[in-house]
Structure 1
Amino acid sequence: MSTSTPNAPYHHGNLRQALLEAALVILEQQGEAGLGLRDVARAVGVSPAAPYRHFDSRAALLEALAVTGYQRFTAAMEAVAAGDVLDPLAAMGKTYVKFALDNPNLFRLMFSPQLRRDNRPGLRMAADAAFGTLRRVTGGDTGTGRLAALSAWAHVHGLAILLLDGQIALRAGEDMEALVADIIEGH
């Protein structure tokens, strides 16, 4: 005997957000390969068809996750840029690497070549907003400001990837945060 009320509307609150949050958890635990719309539906406790009301494909879900990642990343970078620090560029660099280390699979997804930004306007806007924060700190859209931003980005992105890939190993007694600070600050 069913305990549900016939024809009662199904209501989950903000299902799209719940699906994204569940997908972020799955992404960080299992990586992108372990992430599918059915997995996300199961995690949230909805029918396998429910996610399709919000994401027409797995690719759309991955894009939405990357946008969410860029939004969170940009918020962290904006907070540093607005803060009262002696060297905002170094502080942003440390925040960049920390975000990557704290969210390795999300970070890799955000910069994945499979998510081509040129044909995904929402993803392009989210990525541009993150880079825009860095550009403002380095001098804006001037020729030298753009080059300074690209140089800083290449420096911290390379460092983040080397750390994520285990190419830079910590020595006995070495602190990751201190190592990152020393590399970014040029000590």
Structure 2
Amino acid sequence: MATRKTASAPTPYHHGDLRAALIAATELLLAERGIEGFTLREVARRAGVSPAAPLHHFGSAAGLLTEVSILGFDELTRCLREGTATGGEDPAARLRGQGMGYVHFALTYPGRFHLMFRKDRLMPDERLKAAGDAALMELELAVRDYTGWGRKKPLNHATQATLLAAWSSVHGFAHLALDEKFGQQAGTECTKDFVAGMLPEILRQLWP
């Protein structure tokens, strides 16, 4: 009598580090199409997994984008610290180094940079807030040293204005560079070469 075969259980799907693969696919998609072109289905397709996989790991599109933003702020903090280190004992040079680090981060991770400040697409998350606060604190400490205000007193109006001016300057410059708005000024130079040559001079004029 022939034996009846029983259906075998489905083999679990293995992707290696699926979380990292989904985050990497998200960053590439954001860099290519921007936040408006982001979809979970396209992320899943690029990662080679089912459309349900991103939801299983991150809960929602906002959950995935929030994770990418946290990584972005962590990397921005690292770039700012590296910039500080290039300035040695000179407070102005440390602040200029942070400016270089900020723009370097934006040009290296355009997808993260454009996403990180889009609260309408992110989840309220204490880790996100902590990561953002840590990055801003690096800039604040450099500004405190540059102005001579010290590191323990609450910011006064003038020092806060300097902080906001510093942040606005490098953030705006980064956006202009990413949007390739320097075409007439850059001439035949590519954007990155133009930034590498021009930004240090701009920062020296801002913070001599």
Q: What is the TM-score with the length of structure 1 in the denominator?
A: 0.82
Residues in 2 aligned to 1:103 and 1:162: alpha-carbon distance in whole angstroms = 15
Residues in 2 aligned to 1:178 and 1:7: alpha-carbon distance in whole angstroms = 58
Written as runs of structure 1 = structure 2, the 5 A alignment for 1:14-93 is 14-83=17-86, 85=88, 86=90, 87-93=93-99
Say whether 1:152 aligns with 2:166. yes
Partner of 2:133: 128
- Specify every segment of 5 or more residues in structure 1 that has no aligned partner in the other structure, as ranges: none
SS in 2 for 1:124: helix
2:63 maps to a residue whose letter is A
Residues in 1 aligned to 2:83 and 2:72: alpha-carbon distance in whole angstroms = 17
Q: Equivalent pairs: percent with the same residue?
A: 35
Tell me which structure has the larger Cα radius of gyration.
2
C-alpha contact 2:63 2:122 (8 A) present in aligned 1: no
Alpha-carbon shift at residue 96 of structure 1 (Å)? 0.8
1:97 maps to a residue whose letter is V
CA deviations on 1:136-182 (whole Å, 9 max, x unpaired) are 22224631554433231122112222333344442436632121111
Partner of 2:114: 108
Partner of 1:180: 199
Q: 1:29 to 1:15 in 2, by over 3 A?
A: same
1:126 maps to a residue whose letter is A
Residues in 2 aligned to 1:116 and 1:63: alpha-carbon distance in whole angstroms = 5
SS in 1 for 2:58: coil
Q: 1:130 to 1:115 in 2, by over 3 A?
A: farther
Alpha-carbon shift at residue 83 of structure 1 (Å)? 4.3
C-alpha contact 2:62 2:122 (8 A) present in aligned 1: no
* Residue-pair matches, total: 182
- Specify every segment of 5 or more residues in structure 2 that has no aligned partner in the other structure, as ranges: 1-7, 145-150
Q: CA RMSD in A?
A: 2.5
Residues in 2 aligned to 1:116 and 1:57: alpha-carbon distance in whole angstroms = 10
SS in 2 for 1:186: helix
C-alpha contact 2:74 2:131 (8 A) present in aligned 1: yes
Greater shift, 61-70 or 141-150, is seen at 141-150
SS in 1 for 2:120: coil
Residues in 2 aligned to 1:94 and 1:21: alpha-carbon distance in whole angstroms = 25
SS in 1 for 2:22: helix
Partner of 1:10: 13
